[in-house]
């Protein structure tokens, strides 16, 4: 994958690798060749748990690249607010939604 990406990097400014949500070799290869990660997610408990699995997987692979979050379908209930606060408090995660919610 790294060799193929070198060719693409010479031709394009950005290369987006869209992987399935499982922790398999495809994700591992994509993580090892990436400069950053963009994760679209909802403010749901399972999504936050998945982020923690991703973080654990990256630590096992000794990968230290920034993770940007795009929060979608945000509701104004206490559960969503608490989950969002939990994600925002984690080191290494940045919210791309800026001042508003998508």
Residue 73: per-residue pLDDT: 74
Q: Name the class of domain 2-95.
A: alpha beta
| Domain boundary assignment for the chain | 2-95
Residue 60: per-residue pLDDT: 93
For the beta carbon of residue 88, count every other beta carbon within 10 angstroms. Answer: 12
Question: What are the phi and psi torsion angles at 13 (to 5°)?
Answer: -75, -35
Q: Residue 4: how many CA atoms within 13 Å on its side-chain side?
A: 5
Q: Is there a contact between 71 and 101 (Cβ–Cβ < 8 Å)?
A: yes
pLDDT in tens, 29-85: 889 888 888 888 877 778 878 888 888 999 999 998 888 888 777 777 887 777 777
Residue 12: per-residue pLDDT: 83
């Amino acid at each position: 994958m790294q060799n193929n990406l070198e060719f693409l990097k010479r031709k394009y400014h950005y290369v987006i690798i869209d992987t399935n949500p499982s922790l398999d070799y495809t994700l591992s290869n994509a993580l090892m060749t990436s400069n950053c990660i963009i994760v679209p997610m909802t403010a749901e408990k399972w999504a936050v748990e998945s982020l923690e699995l991703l973080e654990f997987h990256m630590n096992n692979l000794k990968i230290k690249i920034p993770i940007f979050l795009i929060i979608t379908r945000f509701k104004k209930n206490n559960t969503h607010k608490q989950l969002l606060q939990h994600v925002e408090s984690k080191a290494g995660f940045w919210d791309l939604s800026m001042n508003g919610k998508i």
